[in-house]
Amino acid sequence: MMPLPETFPDTLDEGRHEPFGAVARDGGVNVVVFSEHATRIELCLFSADGHTELKRLALHGPHDGVFHGFLPGAGPGLVYGLRAHGPYAPEQGHRFNPHKLLLDPWAREIVGTHVWRPEHHGYEPGHPDNASSFDARDNAAWALKARVAAPLPPPASTPPRHAVSDLVLLELHVKGFTMQHPEIPEALRGTYAGLAHPAAIAHFQALGVTTLSLLPVFYALDEPALAARGAVNHWGYNTLGFFCPSPRYAACARSGDVDPAAVAAEFRQMVDTLHAHGLEVVLDVVYNHTPEGDEHGTTLSWRGLDHASWYRLAPDNRGRCENLTGCGNTLNVAHPRVTQFVLDSLRHWVEAYGVDGFRFDLAPVLGRTAHGFDPNAAFFTALRQDPVLARVHLIAEPWDAAYDGYQVGRFPGRFLEWNDQFRDTVRRYWLQRGVHRGDFARRFTASSDLFHHGQRRPSASVNFIAVHDGFTLADLTSYSRKHNEANGEHNRDGRDGEPAASFGVEGPTADPAIRLRRDRVRRAMLATLAFAQGTPMFCAGDEIANSQGGNNNAYNQDNPTGWLDWANADADLRAFAARCIALRRALPALHHDRWYAPGPCSGDDCAIVWLRPGGRPMIDGDWHSPHEHAFACQISPGQGHRVLLLFNPEDQPTPFTLPAYRWTLALDSSGELPAGEPPAHTPLVVPPWTVVLLHDTD
């Protein structure tokens, strides 16, 4: 079937009222658009290159906010846009402007190259009435267009479907991970195909991770302020196409001739290849805002189709957007059609591309009602009831930019949640920043104060030391303050006061004592993360001591700062991290997904006992001692080996009296202790800044 019919009709057939978007079916293309307040929506047909508008046809409707129509004789490859008519009353939240060609929110493919132009504004910039003015210039020459997609073939492999209790996450950026990898062919570096290359897969398998958590891969735009100074949003948290993989990371688009179908096929092949090697794929998704900005922003899609329905507006001034995201606008997920949009997008990535789960950026936005965050909000209910999404991993970033934005521990059902309290507590413990043993023990055992309620398991706590935003592991042990000057914001961006230490010299040093301490602390943190109860998440590059030169907000560093430095990879640290993960998998006590029992264990229960270095159990006064920080924990599973963990964050060696079992050394993060069984009846002297793991052999 050809993309365009042989002759254009004067009117569209009525067609079906669902699904939303433009779908090839029944010998033509069915188009469905949502707008609660539009009076008329036109389907604009374009030449294959998107440069020439060929025909405008009015959709039927509205019927309950739905406009629809059917174009006989059309098929995949049809290029189109939308124009919406309705009231232009910005003070009431209405910004309809038919002079603006709009992208279909449900677009499966996008054609064209985006350029920020004044014509993309629905108002006239510089006009005395500012955002209340009306701009009659047409933007079609510079607007991105949608293209009707052909269905992808069925997945070529079966998803691994790792149990939640077995997950080991690795957060990574497709381009950042592959761009400088010496074993990936140059033509594939920075791409989906590069991430599926045998060299990348060998690294993932040797490390022992189960699940890759990819930074945003949806079709995204660079913010106008970045574009104006020739910079890019390297991380991609500015989504325009919620159903389309970004062509930026496609090897097939390197020539500049972008075929959206080829990009989609390359992304699907990446997922299939990773699945075939036992690796799951989780996508970082941004359903909290769009690139249209605040009320002074552009009109690219949602704003022109129905600003008052798609966005949250200020209760006391509907001319203003509520900014709960720090990005100018906030999607109104409480609206049933916006909920449907998000669910349709999620379902599309599972059904068309085979992805295994999602990490929701600024996730409280998804549960916001008129009264604040609600874990029983309609979106969460709909998500729970969706049969396709019931089988995928759901991970929340449990904070947004609202006054009540911090919602760690409050997400419902199957959600796992990023636990920043684990990050900060573990860092401060090993950096000697005033953390008591009680604080460390609570975070090490899955933060029961946050997650032990309802039917939630310890795996709900996603533990991490470092992620994309913030210092890398190497940098938080090499710098005491951020160095973000290259970002172009005079070092004002990025988190201030992030727990970090240089140990005497800011940045690289040849001092052997400082280098030793940095290495010891990195290893201790990696071991703590691997052995802690909960779901561990490593940040790609930390296992090779990757540095960003002290930049703790490399969001616009699409250059060697934001790419992993494989040339200086620390192979010993990589082997150590892999050993930690292997031990976690091998010892049931280290991936136990039930809350620890307070007394003797039985069946599937698992008991934990905390001990002073001298061997006696910890008592109330020990937990918050400001002078002593070394201690031990013995975990006794109902089945499997008993394990003993020794933690020494002090500056001097600490002798530990071991419980009266037959112990074998499984791991010493310092590398100083002899292998095998420690001498009986003799304290084991643990070096400074060290984690030791032993298991019994009885």
What was the pLDDT predicted at 641? 84
Q: From the candidates 306, 397, 417, 558, which is the catalytic residue?
A: 397
Residues (pLDDT < 70) of the chain are 1, 597-606
What pLDDT, on a 0 to 100 scale, did the predictor assign at position 425? 98
Residue 361 falls in the annotated catalytic set: yes
Q: How far apart are CA 203 and CA 510, in angstroms?
A: 29
Check for a shared fold between 21-147 and 597-696: yes
What fold, for 165-288+355-589?
TIM Barrel (3.20.20)
222 carries an active-site annotation? no
Residue 604: predicted pLDDT: 52
The helix (run of H) or strand (run of E) holding residue 522 is helix 512-531
> Cis bond leading into 653, ω under 30°?
no
Please list the alpha-helical segments (H only) found in 162-247.
174-178, 192-195, 198-207, 224-228
User: Cβ distance 301 to 243 under 8 Å?
Assistant: no
Domain range 21-147, its CATH number among 2.40.160.20, 3.40.630.10, 3.40.1390.10, 2.60.40.10: 2.60.40.10
pLDDT confidence of residue 155: 81
Residue found by looking up tokens 């490390």 in the block = 207
Which residue in 280, 284, 361, 475 is the catalytic one? 361
Residue 493, φ and ψ in degrees, nearest 5: -85, 170
pLDDT of 605 reads 55
CATH superfamily of domain region 597-696:
Golgi alpha-mannosidase II (2.60.40.1180)
The residues pairing with 665 across neighbouring beta strands, listed in sequence order, are 676, 694
Domain residue limits, the chain: 21-147, 165-288+355-589, 597-696
Burial (0-12, 13-18, 19+ Cβ within 10 Å), 310:
buried
**pLDDT in the model for residue 233:** 98
- What distance in Å separates the CA atoms of residue 186 and residue 574, rounded to the nearest whole number? 23
CA dihedral of 131, 133, 137, 142, whole degrees rounded to 10: 10
Decide: pTM greater than 0.85: yes
Q: What pLDDT is attached to residue 607?
A: 87
